[in-house]
A and B are shown apart, each in its own frame.
Chain A
Amino acid sequence: MGEHVLSWMTFAPLVGMVVIAFLPRERPTLTKVVAAAAAAVPLLLAFQVFATFDRSTAEMQFVERGSWIAPFNIEYFMGIDGLSVTMVLLTALLSFLCIIASWRIDKAVKGYFALFLLLETGMMGVFCALDFFLFYVFWEVMLLPMYFLIGIWGGPRKEYAAIKFFLYTLAGSVLMLLAMLAFYFNVRNPDTGAHTFNMLHMMDQANHSPWLQLSHVRHLIWIALFIGFAIKVPIFPFHTWLPDAHVEAPTAVSVILAGVLLKMGTYGILRISYPMLPDAALWFAYPLAILGMINIIYGALCAMAQSDMKKLVAYSSISHMGYVLLGMSAFTTQGINGAVMQMFNHGTITAMLFLCVGVIYDRAHHRDIDGFGGLGLQMPVYTSVFSLALFAALGLPGLSGFISEALVFLGAFPTYRTITIISALGIVLGAAYVLWMLQRVFLGEKNPKYDSLPDISARELATLVPIAAVVVWVGVQPSPVLDLMRVTLNNLIATVGR
């Protein structure tokens, strides 16, 4: 396993999927155990990666490389640096926990877990791929399982939500495909002189053809890529698929959607758009900051207006992804470190939030914020876990969300004063919707309807505690995570920035 860590992390779930396809339908528990085992492989390897990752270099690590389609110069090229390693760790952790969180699925068990594992393969692959073609294949492979996971196991309007998600993301990714092809024909491998899909070659401006150096061309390609990624993040005004998808998706799928999939948008911008088109990135920096601000404020305002808990969390995701955009648009070291850190932290915090919403939904079969009240007395353990997640979301010092948001504001302030000041209002709005919800659900009169509601179970707690530990740990001691990414991101800013 030693040399092919990333391949194992990526394809172990796929192997699990194939095994599940041939398991008997009458033994659902066996299916779940196989799924958990298949997802445990990447998780265990993630510990190894975390332990052995070299924090002092911006080079790609754990690299695997081989020719795949020679006539089209496509390679199987995997590797991670400080940008992708946090995402890989996040994916491994959340995927495993989500399989545990899905233990009570009883409809078409085989299909559910098979698709979930396929989804994990796609996500891992996206974060590890260094060949643009390979990246694109993984990127698209994720769409299908997501479509089915929402469409079959989702809520009342699942079919609408599923196809909306599929159409939106596909519209974005076909533009990315065209941009990718434009790159392919205008970048040459310096060693062989052939066209290449190698991302590292594409990042080296010296390999670009004269046509690709024209600024209007670069701006157009940037826009095409940006739309593709913006739909995924989602950036206003491409966000309308997200509330639908989140509300209809089953709990574990919402966790993956918010925890990992949204990060792919910002990851794509940082992995592809920034280093390949640095000048266009600077050209677009100001609009990006404004879009970040809109995401923060608009998302928070929408969240405040929601009566459905899940929808509130969904809109809070839009708001929190705005911090990522603001941080990366500033082109300062604090800003970009804060942005990637926020990607990681939002992944963990929002996962907790969705899992917590799932816990109450499983018991009460609704998520209406005003339909509860006084749950703090009825479910004390649950209340404390959910409160922890909520406080992390509003950026309470000592929890992870505070670190990254503070870094983002620190980094963005020198570059964009007004925008940063307006964006900081998002913190206030965030506190407002979080505390208001907390108050309505857990405090106040006890609702007699829920007198017999049992507290959180051990299995549910088992999915939440590891994430909570990460949230507290990073909040108190952010350096282990910061160290992973710092060298890479500083290097990125040095090459891209002004």
Chain B
Amino acid sequence: MLQFLLPGLGVTVSVTLIALGLGGCIGAMMAVFRVYGNPVVKCLAVSYSVVVRAVPVVVIIFILFFVISAFIDLSPFMSGAIALGFASGAYQTEIFRGAILSVPRGQMTAARGIGMSRAKAIRCIILPQAFRVAIPSLINEVTLVLKDSSLVFVIGVPELMRRAQYASASTMEPLLAFGTAACFYILLTLTLSKLLEAVEKRFAIQF
């Protein structure tokens, strides 16, 4: 059973990490747009977050795989990872927006007061503090993306879920196959959350 599933483990992990990284970049950028941007980029960020959160992830995956990849050369793996990242970005936008708003206004005033530009103040003062506030919500988002990564099996990416399906078909033991897959997901979720909790502790502001 393990020889069927193990190769999928790596694919699941890489899809998840790419999606989280991409979503994190999009999310942080869109959140800054929403809080500090001019009306145009603010509108862009709001539309992105509202529309993407209203569309099922599978639909985004299909759009990327069947529509977009007709124009740009994208492997199923990359289409899946980018689609997931694009979806996660919308949720991370909301996470980062809340975190940015939780940073006291005085922090920006003080940063401008020592002569920092707005952009530099956001980068050096606001975002480092917002990131710390965001970690607990990000841990939640990590587990969601990890589980959503199973959806890319619909476009044939050989990740954990797809492998479990093969295994189930060829061994005729669905319970064992999907049970093992479930165990892997639990293990991955716990590992990733623990990892982020360690990051949270490492960067916690001391009181």
Q: Are A and B a genuine interacting pair, yes or no?
A: no
Which residues of chain B have a CB within 8 Å of any CB of chain A?
A: none
